[in-house]
Structures are given as structure tokens and as C-alpha cells.
A and B are shown apart, each in its own frame.
Chain A
């Protein structure tokens, strides 16, 4: 064991950049490719009605989603999703900051907020439907009513836990209220806030799909449920695939934003680990 360590710790062998990239690619795409091929082979000889092969699904994907359906179903879904997420973030951070800063308000609302967070978000769909009817607003409100809680509660926690020395520093230099909010409270809470946003994204996506399955005549969720009811299996799979892509897209965008916003945070952690 020790003998190997000695050799590994030596200067890295000069290997071409090209081959290193190739290895990375191999790792990133190797297993997915392999699985796709296996899946394809199994599907060609298998007889399972519910698991069409990757080629069939990709054909169905192009036929179903490229074209007018994109405008009719995908865009409205994404629009509602985007609106819901934005509203949740704005509302969650604004309310969370106020509640986090004002102690009596926090104590007043804490049990209530705990309760609201504990309600499984999809349960609110029938309630919002009852209150607002089956409208676009209702779907956005449904998304907000579920996605706002993780952001709100994380913001409250983050704002409340502002470091005492940092606060005293701001006090001693007589930093103004707005400067304090912008340069101390919000950045200090940002790791918690981002963790909340990450949770909110997956909740929002779930609620978008279900609210459309429940009460809609357009949108991704509606389409997928429609395909299932009509036994359009490959089309249904293509819808699942598209939802997966939307999920991946959200995760990637979030990752980029998070890396930018929390660069300092990850930097510190890296320094501490070294």
C-alpha cells in the first residue's frame, strides 16, 4: 500500500490534454451510452408494451414536442413555472428577511409557519382550485403556495443567525440600515437562502405537473396524462423525458447561479479543507 502511495505522490505524468478530456468524456457518457444500448437491445427483442426502446421514444419526442405543441403546451408550462418560482423567491426572501429581523414577529409566526411547511404542497391544489377556480393564476398560486415555504423558512433561519461579531463590526462602524441589509444580512444568509431555493425548485416542478394533470387543458402535465389515458406509450415516455430535461435545465441554471452567488462560501470551505 505504502509503496504505491509513494509513486502516486510523485510528479504527475505529462499526459496530453486531449487524452484527459477523452477520459472525462468516457466517464461522463460511457455508462449512459452502455445503458442506452442495452435498453435498445432489450426493447427490440422484448415484448413489454410499457417500455419502448430509446429509438422509438426519441422519434416520438421529435414528433410530439418539436412544432406547434411546443408553443401550445411546453411554453405555457414553463411560463407558469418561471412566474411561480420568481414570485416564490421574491416573496420568500422579502418576508423571510422581515420576519427574521423582527424577533416578536418571528415568535408570533413560528408555530404557524412550521405547520404550513408541513402540509404536503399538492394538497393545496384542491384548496386553491376552490378559491380561484381553474385558471392560470390558480396554477401560479399553487406553485407559490408550495414553493415559498422552504425559501421563507431558510431565509428566516439565515437572517436570524447573522454572526454576532459581524453585527458588532457593523455597529461599531455605524453602517446604515440599508447597507447592513445589503452587505451583511443578506449575504450572510445567502447559503441558507440558496439551499431553500434549491428545495423550492423541485417542489415547484412537482406542483406544475400535478396542477396540470388535475385541472388543465394544456401543459406538460396535462399532455402526459392524456397520452397515458390514450395508451400512447412512446409519447408518454417522451413527455417524461421532456420533464426530466426541464428538471435538469433548472438544476443546471441553479448550479450556475449558485456558483456565482456563493463563490465566497465554497471558497472558504475549500480553504478549510486544504
Chain B
């Protein structure tokens, strides 16, 4: 279905790494689209090339073949319409800058007045609940708070789509639940489109409106699953719904099949 609303369109994306031992095909053939305002989760077995896919989408890696289109124009490098939240917050935040400085850094080259910039930074820190920590350094904060800073930085950049690469893989379970709710909240209240990469099946079902299940490497999209849970979600009731259990079981089975390599690649996407 050709759709004018497509925000992000990925078609026949392919990525091959050259290595000493021979070429490695990380991504086989990935195609999907994403609409403005959607929250799409991508799950897959470990080592399936999730991070590679994400870097190709964000314009950090040049794909070997295929197209990534943002708002109808091809992505050839990092785009101002995207902001990335990396998994390794400790390495993605600059320890010599304060929390404020980190959030402000990407805004420096945008032609904004001092006041506008301050407003964006303050607003973003407010949104992640860190207004009080603006003058601290990242390393003075807990892991969960550091990742909030990274999210604030991405939000302040005002992207059309927020790309998150396993952002909560390195934080403890309780913090993780809080951060998941923060992502839902940002999505709902600010209408930010979010592409969320994770290896956690529960997380993908809990967060997403859609879940893309990836096959093992060389990767293709094994299933594009709509998550028909109510839009109001919370950690206790939503996760207790029978439908939630069904969905997560389904995704779990898909991943197991992907790991065993049982799923058959489609002859041609679309």
C-alpha cells in the first residue's frame, strides 16, 4: 500500500562487511515503512544486525544496497530529521560537559537565539525529569539518569524520528520500567515518532504499536506485527493482560524460529 504518510521508508536494504576471512553479509534484505507518530519496535535474536540496521537508518553507515528514505528524500548521511539514543550512554555523553552542555551541544549549529536554545534545553530536561541536575556532570548521575540525559539531548534536537538503540540494556530492571514509561509518555504527549531497537521481547510488546521481528543474520523482516493493546499502558495492568501474554509468546516463538533459521525468506519483499 503506497502511503503519503510514510515518514521513513526502507527498501531492500543490504549491508555486507568486508573482512579478512571473507565478506560477511550482515543484513540480507530489509524492507519496511514507518508512519509519522508511530512507535515501532524492532526485535531480533542476538547478533542479527540490529545495530547495523540502525546505523544504516541513521546515516552513520553506508548500506551496500537498497534505499532509506526520510520524508521522501534518500538518507545519505546523518539527517537533522533523526536523533539517535545510543545504548552506551557512558560513551555517548561527553563527561567533560555538564548535563546542560551535553543537551545543548547539538543545538549550537542550529541558528537559534540564546533564549530559544535555553528554552529547548530546559524544556527537554524538564520532560525527562532532570531539570534539577542541569549543572551536574553525567558521571555524577546514575545509569538511568544518564540515559535520561541522552534522551533529553535527542528530544531537544527536535527530530522527526527518535532512533533508540537498545537504550535500556545496561540499566537495572526497576529503572528500566521507569524509562520505558518515559518513552511511552514522550511518544504520547509530544507525538514523537520513535523507532526502538531492543533484544527484550517483553519490552518490545509493551512499548510498541508495531513490532518488527528480524531473522538471524543475513537479516530480513520475518514478521511485521501490529500490537493491538490499548494505548493507555502501565507496567502492572498491561503486562497482566492475556493479550499481552499471547503477543509476547507469539514474538518469542518467532524469535526461536529465527534463531533456528527455520523461517523462510520471502522471495521478494512486497
Query: Chain A residues in contact with chain B, CB under 8 A?
Result: 163, 165-166, 168-169, 171-176, 179, 183-184, 187-188, 190, 264-265, 267-268, 271
Contacts and interface: CB of A to CB of B under 8 A. Distances in A.
Chain B interface size, under 10 / 10 to 19 / 20 to 34 / 35 or more: 20 to 34
A267 B82 CA distance: 32
B139 interface: yes
Interface stretch (B104-112, B209-217, B259-267): B104-112
Contacts of A183: 94, 97, 101, 105
Contacts, number: 69
A69 B263 CA distance: 89
Contact of A174 (B88, B96, B101, B109): B109
A173 B83 contact: yes
B137 A264 contact: yes
Contact of A165 (B80, B83, B92, B109): B92
Interface string B46-72: 000000000100111000000000000
A173 B84 CA distance: 8
B169 to A, nearest CB: 14
A264 B97 CA distance: 8
B57 to A, nearest CB: 11
B168 interface: no
B139 A268 contact: yes
A264 B96 contact: yes
A174 B159 CA distance: 12
B91 interface: yes
11 contacts: A166-B92, A166-B94, A168-B60, A171-B78, A172-B82, A175-B109, A176-B108, A183-B94, A183-B105, A264-B139, A267-B95
Nearest to B154: A173
Nearest to A262: B96
A267 B88 contact: no
Given A172-B58, A264-B139, A179 B109 contact: yes
B140 interface: yes
Given A168-B60, A264-B95, A173 B139 contact: no
Contacts of B60: 168, 171-172
Given A165-B88, A172-B58, A172-B78, A187 B96 contact: yes
B105 A168 contact: no
A79 B69 CA distance: 61
B206 interface: no
B157 interface: yes
A264 B95 CA distance: 6
Contact of B139 (A163, A190, A267): A267
B94 A175 contact: no
B220 interface: no
